[in-house]
Amino acid sequence: MSIPWGVGQIILKRAQLMPDRTAIIFEGQPVTFKELNDGANRCAHMIQKKGISKGERVAVLLGNCIEFMEAYLAAAKLGLIFVPLNWRLMAPELEYQLNDSGARMLVVHDQFLSSIYQIRATIKVEDDKFIYLKSDIPGQPECPGWAQDYRSLVSGQPAGEPAPDSPVLFEDPLAIVYTSGTTGDPKGAVLSHEQTYFKNFQVAIYTSGTVEDVVVAQMPLFHSGGLFIVATPALNVGMTVVMRRGFNPDEFAEDIERYRATIVFALTTMWKMILATGKLDQIDAGSVRCVVGGGERTPPSLFEELNKRGLQMQQGFGQTENSAMMLLPREDIFRKMGSIGKPGFFTDIWIAGSDGKRLPPNEIGEIVASGPTVMSGYWNKPEETKKTIVDGVLYTGDLGYVDEEGYFYIVDRAKDMYRSGGENVYPAEVEKILAGHPKIANVAIIGVPDDTWGETGMAFVQPHPGQEITADEVLEFLTGKVGKFKYPKHFKFVQELPLTSTMKVKKAELREQYARTL
């Protein structure tokens, strides 16, 4: 829709309506809506003075912090495209995403400078647009000569509203969020202002959110969950978000009591760690009325353990391309155990057969979706977009079915992606790197259940004839090339891998082999 309105209006309106109400509590320090809006405006003026115009990309490599939100909201106000980078990635992965997006500016935290040193000469960020942000973590490097200090740059800027080059429209792109691709190359999901607003409305309906709510969620802001399921919808409604620089299970539980949290977001892996501390038995969680979680395979025992402590976790389903697609109603948590819920208010979801037509209840097919919460497409990848969005319908790549009452269930993933600790891992990305090892003839990785992380990788490695290779050698070869969360945890060395007539590995057969060893 060509409506002159964007996500930047959220913080402006909240600053006008409730300037002194707390928007974010970061590491115990409250920040009001007015203060957050003023900070975003100063950042926007700084970016404009750098000569960056509407539609151009600004990237951040930051831990959770107020400045992350300032840069995001500043980009939204100016019609720039925000590119949040995953700080768990290695330098070559960051290099690809920065160059693929064509980011002109990069804001980087001191603790991640080492990665940028490695790639500074090969990325397209301009020399005067490397922006350094100092954290309060001891022992981190000071601002290098090739960068400029964020706080020094914004401190003298006006707090008034910036004027974008041209009106920011509802249909304009807001962000590019990268998700690994099944071919080994990451894909940038383009999220628009319009899509983000409808997602705000959908999350507000899920949570029955009001301005009186306090949200505790220690999810990383670079992730679509942290930024587009928690932070943006919360600010839109006028909630207060309790934010930490990173996840700490003890602190998470203590924050529930300390701030009288009413809404809590945490992935299954996070809940396992929180329960392991025993802190939930030492706090008063009686203020919590809504718990949203899941994000990976969740055992029934976890729902039961949380329920004993008065926390009824509602599991949902989504992906970067269309997050917060559905949620299981609270009253159905145990009646429909294993279900990922019903479609959200602004998302139509069904099960499609191989011909694309809707399948009847209890027949397995691909989970597909349409509606205003679906991404615009993949950045610079028109062919990938055409494969994923067909006639306005998003093909998720997940296999599932719907029962007679309209509740959805995931059976398997049509793609090989698995989720480890809430992070998507695509084996093809790791397989592509290992294919370059001089001792490896072929390799295939599958996701297998893991008590701590939900799923982890198992690598079936076929060495070249006459060669021997160890797990340590494989991991050493991966060092510095992909994030450690993508490393396989288990290894099986084989003389040959089962192949199709087109020389593709039969991963279904590998999964059967693995199942037989249990």
pLDDT digits (tens, 9 = 90+) for 355-372: 889 999 999 999 999 999
> Percent of the chain, pLDDT > 70?
97
pLDDT at 461 over 60: yes
d(CA 479, CA 434): 11
Domains parsed from the chain with CATH numbers: 1-181 (3.40.50.12780), 424-516 (3.30.300.30)
Answer whether 450's CB lies under 8 Å from 489's CB: yes
Q: pLDDT tens across 139-181, in order?
A: 999 999 999 999 999 999 999 999 999 999 999 999 999 986 5
Answer whether 192's CB lies under 8 Å from 82's CB: no
Beta strand residue intervals within 421-500, DSSP E: 423-425, 440-450, 454-463, 488-493
Q: pLDDT tens across 87-130, in order?
A: 999 999 999 999 999 999 999 999 999 999 999 999 999 999 99
Average pLDDT over residues 394-417: 88
d(CA 465, CA 440): 9
d(CA 472, CA 475): 5
Q: pLDDT tens across 216-226, in order?
A: 999 999 999 99
At 424 the pLDDT is 79
At 182 the pLDDT is 47
pTM as predicted = 0.89
Query: Nearest 10 degrees: CA dihedral of 464, 465, 470, 475?
Result: 0
The widest CA-to-CA distance across the chain, in whole angstroms, is 72
Q: pLDDT tens across 26-69, in order?
A: 999 999 999 999 999 999 999 999 999 999 999 999 999 999 99
Of the pLDDT bands very low, low, confident and very high (cuts 50, 70, 90), residue 296 is low
d(CA 166, CA 355): 43
Q: pLDDT tens across 59-99, in order?
A: 999 999 999 999 999 999 999 999 999 999 999 999 999 99
Beta strand residue intervals within 7-56, DSSP E: 22-26, 29-32
Q: Are strands 22-26 and 29-32 parallel, antiparallel or unpaired?
A: antiparallel
